[in-house]
Structure 1
């Protein structure tokens, strides 16, 4: 078994990690988080979401965030755009990548975006066409690939069907997400292998929540299959508002610690990343949730009086 020599990390903390926070977060804090992440070596992140402020008020300042960030050369600043109005916002803000999002579960699709899977694909069609015509990268996030809070088990065939439909739209990268964190390594492997049969392993991004403590095990299972792109969130921020008990995304710090322990290159300075994670946790009044981050922080020399 040969693991990838290098992995590509997408930090979703500035968007997925912060979007469900009830207390409004200053635009300046969001901008500083993004800049701290890129300073630590993160070269791909979700920076904004152009959805209706009525549904996600925390993300209403996406244009201001992207306008205020000092952009690192070579870094990709992505934005969610579920419809043409959202795409126009992403274009005006010069987002490098457009992210569309659907679900492999009919029940979740209805609860999350108020339409069927088939209807959601049709909504995305003009968005995908316009984004690609505008020379922007197109990534698709697919929720509930390993389980759904409403219908329970999600057939692998349903995941493959959604992937095929999104492939037909011209999607370049496919995020296979365990939205509620119920996945186990063997289940993860079966899903990834089935999806790889349609799009190839190189176009898959793994996205795991840590509700049952299996996120890193699932990441490793993906590595064994050759997956080399993963989505994670600094400080483990985030969660799913439609899934009771679902915890945040796997922490970027924990993923980087694992990769470095395996001799896999990430391009990330773990110490600087930990500083960013501890900073944002304090800034929004959350406990610092990255386990590797907490352990390494505790080992640092304490300042003397």
Structure 2
């Protein structure tokens, strides 16, 4: 059996979630290949070839793949899908956009958000907002899988020496077109890949207070900034900072929750963090049930003191 990982990249480098997906793929099949689909993406293909555990990189390069339109990427995957027993995507926005299209075209049932590979046909995935783990066995000829990156270690990005095979890029399907992309530039680590995350909740009260309290602590720790859904809905933080079942799933080495009550929706996105620190003046807040360290205190006094101590 051979597994194909659909790489996420920027035409120059491979994104971290792909490394986690390679680890999952290695547990599914004896051989792992990586598809790099893009335009002028030779550098990304070379980077993929360096990943430890990858036997071959399939490089499709063409203008139709430049912006990663889901219809075109799905068509590229389908063009070579017959060679593989497993097709794996990272459970990111990009992966979730392409995988269902591939599964539907193959008439196969997709297996979503896999957190553990039991065997080549048996997988574990969270259900009920992570409160239960389902064991799923699939008899599909081709398993179409999305992988929750936080469930797997990253494959080593260098040290491999995979062969690179070039294949023809598919033609543009014409069903969608790329309009524009707005990329926020930040010196902070990416939220889903950060080793430390500092998050704020609705208790902060305003966007100004969110920045005043959370930003200095994140700066001191070299951390990414996250937010609860309640804080995002209230306008204290932008949508791309939301952590939770309907936001981003994170599992950093350290997660600091400031003024977050710990609703199930939020816990589903961060409870796999290695160390969880909660600061909340409500002793009954659910966040304390998952926290390794809890501080029952007013965050407006406690966080500045912590920053000063650091």
TM-score normalised by the chain length of structure 1: 0.29
Higher strand residue share: 2
Structure number with greater CO (CA < 8 Å, separation at least 6) is 1
